[in-house]
């Protein structure tokens, strides 16, 4: 009698256990997808934010150094690196043109005065 109950109950318990395991795996997959989406959202925000900050700094360099009529060696080096990073992030031609104007300025070391 007991063995008969076990034999009929065993498949039911096994089926329920397998169903529960499948449900758990699906829930874990949903959570993983949510986390991936959140990480991707943050990465995109960092990407866009970095590009905006570089654009702003490049425009400020343009305004500052074209008003002065020259640029320092260290500012020129920073300008080149920022422009490369900005373009690598998909920056547009307007800022590139402004940066080319700034890079065309005479390089002047202010400490020599």
**pLDDT per residue of the chain (113 residues) written in tens, 0 to 9:** 667 766 777 788 888 899 999 999 999 999 999 999 999 999 999 999 999 999 999 999 999 999 999 999 999 999 999 999 999 999 888 999 999 999 999 999 866 54
- 95 touches 55 (CB < 8 A): yes
For 46, 52, 102, the CA distances from 40, given in Å and listed in that order, are 10, 18, 35
What ranges do the domains of the chain cover? 2-108
Burial class from Cβ neighbours inside 10 Å (0-12, 13-18, 19+) for residue 86 reads buried
pTM: 0.71
How far is it, in rounded angstroms, from Cα 86 to Cα 58?
9
């Amino acid at each position: 009698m007991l063995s008969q109950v076990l034999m009929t109950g065993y498949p039911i318990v096994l089926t329920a256990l397998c169903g529960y395991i499948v449900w758990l795996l699906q829930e874990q997959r949903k959570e993983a997808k949510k986390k991936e989406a959140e990480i991707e959202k943050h990465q995109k925000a960092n990407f866009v934010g970095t590009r905006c900050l570089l654009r702003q700094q490049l425009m400020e360099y343009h305004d500052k150094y074209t008003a002065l009529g020259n640029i320092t060696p260290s500012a020129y080096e920073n300008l080149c690196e920022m422009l490369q990073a900005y373009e690598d992030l998909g920056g547009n031609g307007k800022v590139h043109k402004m940066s080319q104007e700034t890079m065309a300025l005479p390089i002047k070391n202010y400490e020599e005065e």
